[in-house]
Structure 1
Amino acid sequence: MTLKVVGAGIGRTGTFSLKHALERLGFGPCHHMIEVLGNMAEQLPLWQSAVAGQPDWDRIYRGYHSAVDWPTARFYRELHTVYPDAKFILGYRSPQSWAESFSQTIYMALSKIGKAPAEQHDWLCMVTELITQNGIPPGLDVAGLEQAYIAHVEGVKGSIPPEQLLVFEAKDGWEPLCEFLDLPVPDEPYPRTNDRAEFWEHMKGGA
């Protein structure tokens, strides 16, 4: 199946809300890291291979019309080659607010692999390598995280043609997203989900 929309925004840039928004707009199902966490047996080996440089995009995205968040965001350059007609959405927030949120959620979870449930160990190792490849190795301070985030944003802007790219902040709601996708604006609030508390609930629940 050909992806129609690819999210180039990394985790903690409103990706879970964007997943719900895209599904509401008819681009579902939408792949998100939560799909990996909830279906380890099938998804994890595919992404381990992708991180090792041997992706099978057809199998990874079989059944999906769109994809956001990590692991997808790590591979935005490759996916632009594989899906040249797709539209790309770069979820954005200020570097400082992203670094603070990331350091208190994903980065914290990765720093405690040794204390994680055994069934999450291989997944967390894959995510650590994935994020390291994305320019965010373990051990960065907040200032270092901000610089890594800025580098990712600039990398996306420099790689994806402007006419195929929307830089999107969740606080802007439906209007810019629907204009970019050439769709009417739904008569309902834009999704707001996956704050820090909800993130840790997903981690505890394994889905």
Structure 2
Amino acid sequence: PKITLTTEKTAVRKDTSDLRALSSIKFTPVQNEHLLSHRNVTLLASSSRQRETTAQKGRIIRSSAATMATQADFDRIDNYARISTTTKTSTRRKCNRVVPMEIFCPCYSRAGTLSMRKALDILEFPKPYHFSSFYDNLQNCDMWLQLAKAKFEGKGTYGKEDIDKLLGHCGAVTDMPRHLFTEETIEWYPEAKVVLVELNIDSWCRPWSAFLTDAMSPAFPIPTKLDPSFLGRIAGVGIAGVDKQIGGGNTVAAAKARLKEMYRKHYAFVRSVTPKERLLEYSLADGWGPLCELLSKPMPTVPFPHENETARDKKGF
């Protein structure tokens, strides 16, 4: 792919098949953060296919003056395509809960969380929340990091009202970083059902191992440093979530060695703090039946979504 760095004064371009090659490029530091915004610093992975314009049959999903994602982008890398579209940054610091929290999936990432988000959307729960929701509102990144620091580092306080500010418009939640607040969520929303998606532990470890290899690559910090106000903020939440989830390990090998242990501990913890009448231990292979029965929803006529998160992550990275 072609990697392009653009600021208001300079442009550096290098053709490379590996992001690691960027480490040899000398960049002049920019002092003003606005010059490193998503609008002025853009990483483009270009293929031989040219992007279609709005005039080309209206296939643009969202657009801005800076950059846009096409349907072809979504077909290629799914949710990651949203990273290339200028995001909304409206604050939710003064928001409150406007819809009830009905369902909580406290599963770790890569335990079918994207499939569950899409299934809950099909079941018409208001705005199911997933890590990819950050791509649409960067302010969420800042607010989640503040909550994580309050809980794990004792820097400030946090409570139910803080979660309601962030997620007051969402009727369902899955994926990180919400799993970091599993016990609080189960306690604060006693009417919410809890769906624990169970995977074969080896099947879960395989995509996580692949993810850690990419996420802990020496090349991974490069785009976050080039674009701190956008990619840097999203990665900051992801890194914090993975660090608290794994509980240590500063090498790929050390992190991978802890995967099975952390999976077993987390699932045992969820079972210990969730009243049995609220808990559904669920497999994606079970399809709509158990889920619709628990949630008192009619059975959809479309197939249950099964998303290949490993392939999506590899393409996204």
2:163 paired with 1:57: yes
Q: Which has the higher helix share?
A: 1
Note if contact 1:10-1:74 (Cα within 8 Å) is conserved in structure 2.
Answer: no
Quote how far apart the aligned CAs of 1:187 are.
1.7
- CA deviation vs aligned residue, 1:100-154 (integer Å, no higher than 9, x gap): 111112x234313423443323332332222332344344354421111111111
3-state SS, counterpart of residue 13 of structure 1: coil
The answer to which of 50-59 and 122-131 deviates more is 122-131
Residue matched to 1:7: 105
Between the aligned partners of 2:140 and 2:284, the Cα distance in structure 1 is 27
The question of 1:29 aligning with 2:127 is answered yes
TM-score by length of 1: 0.88
Q: For the residues of structure 1 that align with 2:148 and 2:214, how far apart are their CA atoms?
A: 19
Match of 1:190?
Answer: 304
Does the 8 Å contact 2:246/2:259 carry over to 1? no
Q: Give the match for residue 261 of structure 2.
A: 147
- Contact 1:7–1:72, Cα closer than 8 Å, also in 2: no
Amino acid at match of 1:160: T
Q: Distance in 2 between matches of 1:129 and 1:195?
A: 20
What one-letter code is carried by the residue in structure 2 that aligns with 1:4? E
Shift of 1:170: 1.1
Q: Deviations over 1:84-104 (max 9, x none)?
A: 111111122111111111111
User: 1:161-183 CA deviation, whole Å, 9 max, x = no partner?
Assistant: 11111111112111111111122
Quick one: which amino acid aligns to residue 98 of structure 1? W
Pick aligned residue for 1:110 from 194, 215, 218: 215
Residue of structure 2 aligned with 1:123, choices 229, 234, 252: 234
* Corresponding residue for residue 93 of structure 1: 199
Counterpart amino acid of residue 198 in structure 2: Y
The answer (yes or no) to whether the contact 2:101–2:170 under 8 Å persists in 1 is: yes
**2:89 equivalent in structure 1:** none
Given that 2:110 and 2:208 are in contact with CA atoms closer than 8 Å, whether structure 1 keeps it comes out as yes
Separation in 2, partners of 1:131, 1:78 = 19
Are positions 1:82 and 2:188 aligned together? yes
Q: Tell me how many residue pairs correspond in the alignment.
A: 201
Task: Give the secondary structure class of the aligned counterpart of 1:104.
Answer: helix
AA of the residue aligned to 1:48? L
SS of alignment partner, residue 110 of structure 2 = coil
Consecutive unaligned residues of structure 2, counting only runs of 5 or more, are 1-96, 151-156
SS of the counterpart of 2:243?
helix
CA distance in 2, matches of 1:50, 1:194: 30
* Segment of structure 1 superposing worse, 52-61 or 10-19: 52-61
* Contact 1:136 1:145 (8 Å CA) reproduced: no
What is the RMSD computed on CA atoms of the aligned residues? 1.9
3-state SS in 2 of match to 1:166: strand
**1:43 maps to amino acid:** N
Give 1:190's aligned amino acid: F
Within 1, Cα distance between the matches of 2:103 and 2:200? 23
Corresponding residue of 2:288: 174
State the 1:69 CA deviation. Answer: 0.7
Give the corresponding residue for 2:45.
none
Contact kept, 8 Å, 1:51 with 1:126, in 2: the verdict is: no
The Cα shift of 1:46 comes to: 1.1
Q: 1:24, CA displacement in angstroms?
A: 1.1
Q: How far did 1:3 drift?
A: 1.1
By how many angstroms is 1:184 displaced? 2.2
Task: State, as a whole percentage, how many aligned pairs show the same letter.
Answer: 24
- Higher relative contact order (Cα pairs below 8 Å, separated by 6+ residues): 1
Q: Provide structure 1 residue ranges, at least 5 long, that are not aligned to the other structure.
A: none
Secondary structure of the residue aligned to 1:28 is coil
Letter in 2 for 1:110: A
Matched, 1:164 2:278: yes
Q: Distance in 2 between matches of 1:172 and 1:76?
A: 24
